[in-house]
Amino acid sequence: MSGFGELKAVLRIRPFRRLWAVLGLSSLGDWLGLLAASTFAAAQVDNSAAQGVAFGSVIAVRLLPALVLGPVAGVFADRFDRRLTMVVCDLIRFLFFASMPAAALIVDDSTLVIAWAAIATFIIETTAMIWTPAKEAAVPNLLPRARLETANQLTLATTYGVTPVLAGLVLIGLEKLVVAIFGGGDVRPQGVEPSEVALWFNSLTFLATAITVFFGIKEISGRRTAAVERKPGMLKEFTQGWAFVSRTPLVRGLVLGIFGAFAGGGVVVGTAKFYAVSLSAGDAGFALLFATLFLGLGVGIAAGPLIVGALSRRRWFGLSIVLAAGSVLILALATHLVVAVGGALLVGVGAGMAFLSGTTLLGGEVADDMRGRAFAFVQMGTRVVLMLTISLSSVIVGAGGSRHLNLGFKEFEVSSTRPLLALAGVFGVIAGIIALRQMDDKKGVPFFADVLGSIRGRPLSPDEPKAAQGIFIVFEGGEGAGKSTQVRHLAEALRGLGRDVVVSREPGATPLGERIRSLVLDPPEVTGEVVTPRAEALLYAADRAHHVASVVRPALARGAVVISDRYVDSSLAYQGAGRTLPVDEVSWLSKWATGGLKPDLVVLLDLEPAVGLARAGRRGDADRLESESLAFHERVRYAFLDLASADPSRYLVLDASLPAESLATGVLQRVRHLMPADEEFDIAEVLEDVAETVTVLTGDELTDDLPSGGTRV
């Protein structure tokens, strides 16, 4: 489904659509409140220095609740009805935003008004710390898990892309409106300053969200039985949440990676002003770098899933952290503004992708009863880390200034921003790698090969181990080569030695496989329709997946010898070469279906297609594959031979025109080397009784005689 189609599918889900509208309104209120409250506090005094203190104080107060209440905010989200929690929080924000301009009307002392603005801001931000985990924890319950990533894209783009711009435009519009209606500041009535009108308007947005959530999105409540369950105390739930974060590799890796990314981002923000000076770019360069960083954030959120394709979201998260942190190193080394802008863009892209993948993982893989505390922990940590790194990096760079480095032949001026950015980049890369190792869900699968395959839509699958005692032998070959006869001979010989032997085939080893066999092999006059090549490949893969899971792996696990008539190579030869489908796609499909299970030995019975088809024709009615043209079967034969020549250590290629007894002897000669030492001796005794000889083709002979028209696999 296209990106636009995914968005439409998500927005068709009514509860989520309403929550998204609420989120947009609430986010507008947050951004507008940040701007309006700070401007309102600054407007209460005339002195420019005092205005700066008032403005900065309100901003700083917004960060304090993360330290005071952050650790317990998630307990509220998990303990109480989430819908009611969100409604109460929005009503509190409505009252306290409205109280700020109301205080300016009632109280004449500007110091008291500023103090109340700071207190109200602290309470508002405290309730926001509770509202956000409740909202984040509720989203996964409103829509299918497959839509969660798209939903997060939509909400993050709304929160950090659309509403900040809209809040600025609303603030400007309200100011223009106030001036148009009431004129300049000296003639306006009290309480209608632009910042005060913005606060009144902002308070109404939270009243609207409270009403919408309470009456329109009852599904947010989630667990209906929570009210009647006997729940532990809040302190117990708090300690359970911290224990969950510390002992769960996924959450632990997410927290470490996000903290590393935000620490690096905080250093970039804290040093940006001084860094722009080191590039001789001034305020314009600072503004360009800042805007580029947020542009990259939007690109990462919007286009990240398209870029990485089918890559595991856990691996994507770790890769995003490394990308963001590695790009900070580019900033540390950049000597030109163009390079620095490119680095800032990549920092934003990596941060945006990490933000999206991390939110999706928390929402999709953390249990509902722990989700609120997990979100709250991440929310608290990111704010604290961001605040500390911005503050510390600003102080360090301001104190460090620039230093002259004399190398004798040349003198350089080195800004203290460079080593600090380099340190942040290295720390972030290490954090990303550790996070990836903590949460990797495809251990043993080569990382970069998996990334490249995922971008192409074919991620690698981890190989599933099979028991060391079992032996997996497969017979391959064209039509009429005598595979069934040789499977029977080998099974009888091994059973005579006391081995547990399971004989199987593809397709048709199970009741489900029999139905699939009928679909792919019965001629069109029987089934009533022609199976297209891609549908045929998928049907064979479905049979193979069920065959391996229900027959092959259980038998191997108990130490049996599994002998199968056809396996993966038949798909590569028949669907890849015969049907001319892309062989790498057929190969990936088969590997995915089997979990990477490979046979210990592939016995290829090679025969001229014309001879094999004549043998098959004597058996009676031809199936769909036997009815194909001679050219089709020649392509199949060449593909089998090419596969064998590419991996001769795992293949035994026999001339199928020889007598069946001779072929059976050749197979036993090879199988004896797969057996334990004592059973190998038993097979040797069997072979001494056989007088026939057998012709075994080597890899060199295969490639020497392969016709030039053969299809290479």
- Per-residue tokens: 440: 């990797």
- Considering the domain boundaries, does residue 228 fall inside one? no
Torsional class of 696: left (φ above 0), alpha (ψ -120 to 50), beta (otherwise): beta
> Does residue 503 share a domain with residue 454?
no
User: Is residue 133 a part of any domain in this protein?
Assistant: yes
Other CB atoms within a 10 A radius of the CB of residue 148 amount to: 21
Q: With respect to residue 676, please indicate whether it lies within any of the assigned structural domains.
A: yes
| Same domain, yes or no: 270 and 403 | yes
Tell me, yes or no, whether 384 and 437 share the same domain: yes
Cβ neighbours of residue 364 closer than 8 Å, sequence gap 6 or more: 140, 145, 148
pLDDT in tens, 80-119: 788 888 899 889 989 988 888 888 788 777 778 778 877 8
My answer on whether 190 and 257 are in the same domain is no
Specify the amino acid at residue 22: V
SS (H, E, C) 506-535: CCCCCHHHHHHHHHHHCCHHHHCCCCCHHH
Distances (CA, A) of 54 to 62, 65, 128, 708: 13, 18, 22, 83
Is the CB of residue 70 less than 8 Å from the CB of residue 379?
Answer: yes
Residue 183 burial (CB count, 10 A): 10
What one-letter code names the amino acid at 98? Answer: A
637-655: b (≥16 Cβ within 10 Å) or e: bbbbbbbbbeeeeebbbbe
How many domains does the structure of the chain reveal? 3
CB atoms within 10 A of CB 457: 10
In a shared domain, residues 266 and 174: no
Three-state secondary structure call for residue 628: coil
Q: What is the pLDDT of residue 561?
A: 92
Please, which residues have CB within 8 angstroms of residue 433's CB and are 6 or more apart in sequence?
318, 322
pLDDT of the residue at 152: 78
Residues 293, 216, single domain; the answer is no
25 located within any domain: yes
Selection from 272, 178, 197, 195 nearest residue 34 by Cα: 195
d(CA 436, CA 357): 13
- DSSP-assigned letter for residue 649: G
Q: Residue 345: phi, psi to the nearest 5?
A: -65, -45
Query: What's the DSSP call for residue 673?
Result: G
How many angstroms separate the Cα of 31 from the Cα of each of 62, 191, 203?
12, 21, 12
- Torsion angle of the four alpha carbons 20, 26, 31, 35, in this order, in degrees rounded to the nearest 10: 160
Structural tokens at position 557: 């696990």
Residues contacting residue 546 through CB under 8 Å, at least 6 positions apart: 510, 512, 513
User: Domain span at residue 164?
Assistant: 1-220
Check residue 418 and give left, alpha or beta (phi > 0: left; psi -120 to 50: alpha): alpha
Is the same domain home to 144 and 3?
yes
Same domain, 207 and 263: no
In this structure, are 254 and 332 located in the same domain? yes
The crossing angle, in degrees rounded to 10, of helices 163-182 and 14-42 is 50
Asked if the structure places residue 710 within a domain, the reply is no
- Tokens linked to 597: 């299970």
The contacts of residue 24 (CB under 8 Å, 6+ apart) are 158, 162, 163
Q: What are the pLDDT digits (tens) for 658-702?
A: 888 888 888 988 888 887 765 554 555 555 554 444 444 444 444
Residue 81, classified by CB atoms within 10 Å of its CB into exposed (0-12), middle (13-18) or buried (19+), is: middle
Q: Which helix (H) or strand (E) holds 536?
A: helix 533-547
Residue spans of the chain under pLDDT 50: 1-2, 49, 55-56, 223-230, 466-468, 681, 690-713
SS (H, E, C) 443-504: CCCCHHHHHHHHHCCCCCCCCCCCCCCCEEEEEEECCCCCHHHHHHHHHHHHHHCCCCEEEE
Query: Contact at 8 Å (CB) between 566 and 503?
Result: no
- pTM of the shown model: 0.58
Predicted confidence at residue 206, as pLDDT, reads: 85
Known binding residues for ATP: 477-484
Residue 712 in any domain: the answer is: no
Query: What is the Cα–Cα distance from 21 to 62, expressed in whole angstroms?
Result: 24
Q: How many CB atoms lie within 10 A of CB 201?
A: 17
Q: Across the chain, which distance is largest between two alpha carbons, in Å?
A: 118
> Could you say which of 462, 487, 503 is where a domain stops?
462
Q: Do 455 and 495 lie in a common domain?
A: no
| Structural contact between residues 244 and 376, judged by C-beta atoms closer than 8 angstroms | no
How far is Cα 192 from Cα 175, in angstroms, rounded to an integer?
10
The alpha carbon of 63 is separated from its chain's Cα centroid by a whole number of angstroms, namely 30
- Give yes or no: residues 326 and 396 share one domain: yes
Distance in angstroms (rounded) separating the CA atoms of residues 391 and 407: 33
Q: Which residues are annotated as a binding site?
A: 477-484
CATH number at residue 302: 1.20.1250.20
Contact between residue 90 and residue 204 where contact means Cβ atoms under 8 Å apart: no
CA atoms within 13 A on the CB side of 276: 16
State the amino acid at position 552 in one-letter form. V
- Name the domain boundary from 462, 484, 509: 462
User: Is residue 478 in some structural domain?
Assistant: yes
Dihedral angle computed from the Cα positions of residues 194, 195, 200 and 202, in that order, rounded to the nearest 10 degrees: 120
**Cα 38 versus chain centre, distance:** 38
Among 440, 462, 484, identify where a domain stops: 462
Q: Is residue 139 part of a domain?
A: yes
484 and 630 assigned to the same domain: yes
Write phi, then psi, for 404 (nearest 5 degrees).
Answer: -95, 130
